[in-house]
Chain A
Amino acid sequence: MSLAIEAHELSKRYRIGQMQAAYGTLRDSLSRIAARRAGREEKHARQEIWALRDVSFSVPEGEVLGVIGRNGAGKSTLLKILTRITTPTSGCAVIRGRVGSLLEVGTGFNPELTGRENVFLNGSILGMKRREIQRKLGDIVEFSGIDKFIDTPVKRYSSGMHVRLAFSVAAHLEPEILLVDEVLAVGDAEFQQRCLGRMEDFSGTGRTVLFVSHNMQTINQLCNRVIWLDEGAIAEDGEPSKVVTHYLHSTSYASGAHISWPDDETAPGDDLVRLLGVRAIDEGGNTTDAVDARDPTGIEIRYRVLRPGPGVFTKIRVRDRRSDIAFNAMDVASHPEDSSEPGLYTATAWISGNLLNEGTTTVDVAVCTLRSPKLHQRAARYEAVLFTVFDPGDGDSARGRFTGQISGVVRPRLEWSVERVG
């Protein structure tokens, strides 16, 4: 099998100044030259960063390669080099086949031109030949669904029509290698969903795809292989679920999986109870910041009761990635009417598997007493722990074989019964 993309030690260096100032004025440059002449060169102005450093990999024809990494890890720079928008500082890459990228959707559309004229303009910009565009024009117009307005200037289009036509042109480019940067992809959720659908079609026909995304879900399900970029270098290259898990463990979210207060004095609480620590744990009792959506997750709350008093119980409030409350849950097994003994306690709330939706989940915890009908929070911590729920996409979770976004704060896997009634 031949290689569609080969990258040999690709490196790209930017001057910090280049990245900060989109453009400078002549005066800035002159004053910098003057400063350099006078020997007062500003150290900061010469700072350099390596957006990519010695990145080597190869992609066999037909492979779907995912690229993940934090913001600024070099993902977009890599795509820019592979699409030849910018050149590498050193190293080289070989690309075999026609390259298309969904970054270019609508590039070069001119508002004054009609839809038809823009199809031709945009098509040639993307690298189509005139004959090819003429042949595909019918399909493009039909796919976009705006045949009535095809001879209307694009400036009179609604933004939806504009995007539909632009996407339709890009979708008919039929590249052999598709480079997609999901982060930069334009349009609303529905449109992005269509981009993804198109990508699946591509990979289904055995074409090569290089896919940059922050959505671990999609990466996991679409890719055969994943490269994790960190500070411009490849941190790991291999099996998607493995690389994604390692990546999620490394992210800055990780520090949020547990919190503790070393001494009682500074810990949240009052004269009755102090909160000592909270952890998100897996079934084995290990602290975890990346949770398989199918597995139960424990929220372990450690607290100390300082004196005999009213019965205490713990309560959690789970929030989804947008900080919307998914649910509140409290320990109803402990009886608030009992009195509590002083001592150190650990309470663990088990959130069932196949319940939380994917993404960052935060949990507020509180140790409460109840003086009916009022709930009295004695020791509480807002956003005590934070972890990521991911779905490795093996098909046995609540999403089955569906790869798109599932909305909602929870995503339970329900019992379904289907009967044939007719």
Chain B
Amino acid sequence: MRRSYVSAAGSSSIARVSQTKLEPPSEQIVAEAADDEQHLRPDRRTVVIRPAKRWPHLDLRELWHYRELLFRLVWRDIVVRYKQTFLGVAWGGLVRAMTTTVYVIVFGKFANFPHGNTPYPSLTAAGVIPMQYFVSAVTSSSTSLVSNLSLVTKVYFPRVLLPLAAVVVPIVDFLIALPVLLVLMGIYGTWPDSAAVVLAPAFLALAFITALGIGFLLSTLTARWRDVPYMIPVFLQILPLVSGVMYALDQIPTKWQWAFAVNPMSAVIAGWRWAILSETAPQLGQTAVSVSVALLLFALGLAVFRTYEPRFADTI
């Protein structure tokens, strides 16, 4: 049985500690302690503190232990984002609807970008929505360590949670923006017509993995060099142009398609359109290249992040 746990009545003992007697815990305290025991047990484990491991690894059991904190961090970011706004989360959908409208007018009407058989508005909306997810995921995850500086320097938890939460948060915006896409699909009658639709989440997962890998990498760099956040927007402004957001990728010459495949977002957008708009299926080889690049980025990002993780509190 453990010692009386509930702060033994507010009796602040002014006497020297060595003279303080331990009262045997009362019945009620024992009952409460037993109740505590249940969900405190994971915390009462033994922790061994060692120098940072030479080889980075991911402690999945520990991550599982901290799952509630992940949830709390995600929840915080979502709640805080739309505090004191009149339209609240609806902004998630509105922003994407407006971007799509601008793209449709500028690239569809004036520039007349190639769009294959799919009506241009559906095509663009289907590109804008996953792209915006990726852009906000990378932006917020790459600054996640610095923007949570007080947490990093004061409390222990697996730091992986910070970029991870930052990549999870924009999923909410993504879901809110889906009705915009559904409306356009209804107007233009572009419904999924094959079983490929079940693969739609897989392509999103690809965007998630890529964003997380880049987030790991850039947040580590940002913790050390504050130059990085200046470079990110430039990179993210070019990205939609080379990912086929405002045009159909299969309309460009094949040899270029292979070059574009190095960018995982091109596979995300092409695959997503194939799944929900019944576009032409992306070429398997090109998708394989994109997936490999994404996994490589993820592995590299995680390794770099974990290598520098023990030093974040000292260098940030």
- For B223, list chain A residues within 8 Å (CB): 23
Q: Assess the A88–B72 pair: CB atoms within 8 A.
A: no
Q: Does A68 contact B (CB under 8 A)?
A: no
Q: A23-B316, A85-B154, A205-B3 are in contact. Are A94 and B13 (CB under 8 A)?
A: no
Given A84-B156, A108-B155, are A129 and B68 also a contact pair (CB < 8 Å)?
A: yes
| Residue B61 lies at the interface, judged by CB distance under 8 Å to chain A | no
Whether B8 pairs with A108 at a CB distance below 8 angstroms is no
**Could you tell me which residues of chain A, from 196 to 220, have a CB within 8 Å of some CB in chain B?**
197, 200-207
Which residues between 374 and 398 of chain A lie within 8 Å of chain B, taking CB atoms? 393, 395
Asked if residues A26 and B225 are in contact (CB atoms below 8 Å), the reply is: yes
Q: Does B28 reach chain A (CB closer than 8 Å)?
A: no
B69's contact among A14, A124, A223, by CB below 8 Å, is which?
A124
Residue contact B80 to A113, C-beta cutoff 8 Å:
yes
Q: Does A87 contact B (CB under 8 A)?
A: yes
Determine how close the nearest CB of chain B comes to the CB of A13; give it in whole angstroms. Answer: 10
Q: Interface 1/0s, chain A 381-422, versus B by CB < 8 A?
A: 000000000000101000001110000000000000000000
* A77-108 interface bits toward B, Cβ cutoff 8 Å, 1 = contact, 0 = none: 00011111111111111111111000110011
Whole-angstrom CA separation of A166 from B153 in the bound complex: 17
The residue among A24, A87, A120, A176 with the most chain B CB atoms within 10 A of its own CB is: A87
* Binary flags per residue of B40-59, CB closer than 8 Å to A gives 1, else 0: 10011011111110000000
- The smallest C-beta distance from A122 to any residue of chain B, in angstroms, reads 9
In the complex, what residues of A have CB within 8 A of residue B3's CB? 62, 205-207
- Determine whether A299 belongs to the interface, using a CB cutoff of 8 Å to chain B: no
Q: Which B218-247 residues have a C-beta within 8 angstroms of A? A: 223-227
A-B pair count, CB < 8 Å, reads 168
Q: What is the bound-complex CA distance between A240 and B154, given in angstroms?
A: 29
Whether B198 sits at the interface, judged by CB under 8 Å, is no
In the complex, A107→B313 CA distance in Å? 15
* Residues B36-87 near A (CB distance < 8 A): 36, 39-40, 43-44, 46-52, 68-69, 71-72, 75-76, 79-80, 83-84
Contact of B49 among A82, A153, A207, A224 (CB under 8 A): A82
Identify which of B13, B17, B223 gathers the most chain A CB atoms within 10 Å of its CB: B17
Q: Determine if B49 and A81 form an interchain contact, defined as CB atoms under 8 angstroms apart.
A: yes
* Chain B residues, Cβ within 8 Å of A224: 17-18
Are B14 and A402 within 8 A (Cβ)?
A: yes
Q: A131 to chain B: which residues have CB within 8 Å?
A: 39
- Cβ-based interface call for A283 (8 A): no
Q: On chain A, which size bracket covers the interface?
A: 35 or more
Bound-state Cα–Cα, A405 to B36, Å: 35
Query: B155: which of A107, A129, A221, A393 is its contact (CB, 8 Å)?
Result: A107
A96 and B79 contact, CB distance less than 8 A = no
Q: In the complex, A113 Cα to B227 Cα: how many Å?
A: 30
Given contacts A98-B40, A107-B155, A124-B72, whether A64 and B49 have CB atoms under 8 Å apart is no
Q: A127: which B residues are within 8 A, CB to CB?
A: 43, 157
Is residue B315 within 8 Å, beta carbon to beta carbon, of the partner chain? yes
Question: Using a Cβ–Cβ cut-off of 8 Å, how many residues does chain B contribute to the interface with A?
Answer: 58
**Contact present for A18 and B44 (CB under 8 Å):** no
Report the Cα distance A63→B315, complex, angstroms: 34
A132 touches B39 (CB 8 A): yes
A80 to B311, CA, bound (A): 12
Interface membership of A356, Cβ < 8 A: no
Contact present for B43 and A124 (CB under 8 Å): no
List the A side residues contacting B83 at CB < 8 Å: 112-113, 153
A29 interfacial contact with B, CB 8 Å: yes
Report which of A23, A29, A130, A204 forms a contact with B68, defined as CB distance below 8 A: A130
Whether A121 lies near B76 (C-beta < 8 A) is: yes
B36: chain A residues at CB < 8 Å are: 132, 174
Assess whether B310 is interfacial by the CB under 8 Å rule.
yes
Whether a CB of chain B sits under 8 angstroms from the CB of A110 is yes
Could you write out 12 A-B pairs with CB less than 8 Å apart?
A18-B314, A80-B313, A84-B156, A87-B52, A95-B46, A98-B44, A108-B155, A113-B76, A127-B157, A201-B7, A201-B8, A204-B11
B interface, CB within 8 angstroms of A: 3-8, 10-18, 20, 22, 36, 39-40, 43-44, 46-52, 68-69, 71-72, 75-76, 79-80, 83-84, 148, 150-151, 153-157, 223-227, 310-311, 313-316
Residues on A facing B (Cβ under 8 Å): 14, 18, 22-27, 29, 62, 64, 80-99, 103-104, 107-108, 110, 112-113, 117, 120-121, 124-127, 129-132, 153, 174, 176, 197, 200-207, 221-224, 393, 395, 401-403
* Other contacts beyond A85-B153, A117-B79, A401-B16: 5, CB < 8 A: A92-B50, A107-B155, A112-B80, A174-B6, A206-B4
